[in-house]
A and B are shown apart, each in its own frame.
Chain A
Amino acid sequence: MCERADPGDTMSTPLFVVQLFNGLQLGVLLFLVAAGLTLVFGVMDFINLAHGVQYMLGAYLAVTFYRLTGSFFASVLLALPASMVFGLALEVAIFRHLYERDHLEQVLATFGVILFLNQGVKIVWGAAPLNMPIPDILSGSIPLMEGLRYPVYRFAIIAAGLAVAVALYVFVTATRVGMLVRAGATNAPMVSALGVDIKRLFMIVFGFGAMLAGFAGAMVAPILSVEPGMGDQILILAFVVIVIGGIGSIRGAFIAALLVGVIDTLGRSFMTDMLRLVLAPSTARVIGPALASMTIYLLMAIVLAVRPAGLFPAKGRA
């Protein structure tokens, strides 16, 4: 997902701050992917494992458009509608035939879509990782504090992610379509019994979800290697996010995404050091990394033990 700064030998304040920002950056990317996932799951009760593919595709599309236009901004802007069109094509061709099926069948079918598209990407773009440069005005780093600089581009990702989160929040809370999306996430049959074409509403949600995941992919294209299967890992994290946040809740997805991003990143950098405070260094070195990769699942287990439907459950009446 995001390559990490070297975990130094000690827990210094600058390193902590850097990792905190890295965690935020992962968090906003997770939010962009999780937003569509949670609404699709919430409104249509549809489990779409292939949502991570949209993220991968966004990255590939950005690279392709970059090669065509030579402009980072043009390539990201073009990747947005292209991601949406691709998502809608998948919806029409495959996913809409799965809504009535049970969850296991949805999981199997959309897993098949992942395999198919990961291979498809290899055929179209080749198996070798691709990349694109960071645009000039977003390159370099800025000083945060004494002896600490942070890359501008990563700030840009955080800022863009937060801006999208705000826009999405306004959309979901203040527009008619947003109201219907929230209503649909709690009781879709009732929305349709009041005269709303829920399938069309769902297409809108699906298209926007695909576009947001594609946007996340396009934003990371300059800092990650763009390769087949790059969406698989973030998809797993995104599922953790929507389960913690509460299925169907945008607000829950936002808070949970930041939590997961920060806790995962900090855990990976500092778990070994923290364990060293209570364990022998050699033991800490063995247990640390293992425990670090489990922190978010522990977080999920704790949240679910206290709030079985997640932090902000949308489903069900109360």
Chain B
Amino acid sequence: MSAPLLAISGLAAGYGGSQVLFGVDLDVSAGEVVSLMGRNGMGKTTTVRALMGLIPLQAGQIRFEGRPIASAPPFRIARSGIGLVPEGRQIFPTLTVEENLIATAAHRNGGAQAWTLARIYAFLPRLAERRRHMGNQISGGEQQMLAIGRALMTNPKLLILDEATEGLAPLIRQEIWDRLATLKREGLAILVIDRTVDALLRLSDRHLILEKGRIVWQGSSQALASDPVARDRYLSV
């Protein structure tokens, strides 16, 4: 097998004096969907922030397509081909839906079929209806779609989603899972953080479980489905 798209090893990071991550190892290969699970406060979002360069690293190596990106500024890491759908959506409230999509759009990595406004609107039709609304005037589900569209418009090779279905109505959750399955079929690599184990079992190729800043379990959907002890121990609340 060729080198993974994203390779994180020995990642340690935290906030101020307190350490949250204690040597996280995590790989995502091209076209692969990997889920990162764990209970509240175990360090999932911190992993994403450290990977994106949003908080300083205490230790560890991060490579994207073989190139080291650890400790680079966030914009360089994003430009290497990572699209972030952050926890809490973080839509720009004073920009319209369309402006949210356009403002940070880019075609840096010259993929075969680049994401354009038209393609995003076809893929996420709710956004087309709302294109002229301000970012803070749309529903939570629409904001989540927008966060996904915004990340896709940077034409990433790896999409990272942090709690993209959190607090949404079942119908919209299902819509998001459907969209992610489509993206997977089109060959996009995805790192997905979520609480909905059943949906992750269907979508992801591999699963990693984070517990107090360490990866304590990893394996395929089959392995996770047949390991109720792990689910009980690491994921139930």
Contacts and interface: CB of A to CB of B under 8 A. Distances in A.
Given A186-B94, A194-B75, 6 more contacts: A179-B99, A187-B92, A189-B74, A191-B103, A193-B84, A194-B83
B78 interface: yes
A196 B104 contact: yes
Interface of B: 52, 54, 73-75, 78-79, 83-84, 86, 90-95, 99-100, 102-104, 106, 108, 136, 150-151, 154
A289 to B, nearest CB: 40
B38 to A, nearest CB: 22
Given A179-B95, A195-B106, A190 B78 contact: no
Contacts of A190: 86, 90, 92
Given A179-B99, A185-B94, A194 B104 contact: yes
A183 interface: yes
Contacts of A249: 94
Nearest to A249: B94
Contacts of B79: 195
Nearest to B103: A179
29 contacts: A176-B102, A179-B95, A179-B102, A179-B103, A180-B103, A180-B104, A182-B94, A183-B103, A183-B104, A185-B94, A186-B92, A187-B92, A191-B104, A192-B75, A192-B78, A193-B52, A193-B75, A193-B84, A194-B83, A194-B150, A194-B154, A195-B106, A195-B108, A195-B154, A197-B73, A197-B75, A199-B73, A317-B93, A318-B136
Nearest to B73: A192
B78 A317 contact: no
Contacts, number: 72
A76 B154 CA distance: 41
List 5 A-B pairs, minimum CB-CB distance, nearest first.
A195-B78, A194-B104, A179-B103, A183-B92, A192-B74
A73 B73 CA distance: 43
Interface of A: 176, 179-180, 182-183, 185-187, 189-199, 249, 314, 316-318
B84 to A, nearest CB: 5
Contacts of B154: 194-195
Contact of A182 (B86, B92, B106): B92
A228 to B, nearest CB: 38
Nearest to A316: B93
A195 B94 contact: no
B136 A193 contact: no
B84 A194 contact: yes
A185 B91 CA distance: 13
A192 B53 CA distance: 10
Contacts of B106: 195
A200 to B, nearest CB: 9
Contacts of A316: 93
Contacts of A314: 94
Contacts of B108: 195
A314 B93 CA distance: 8
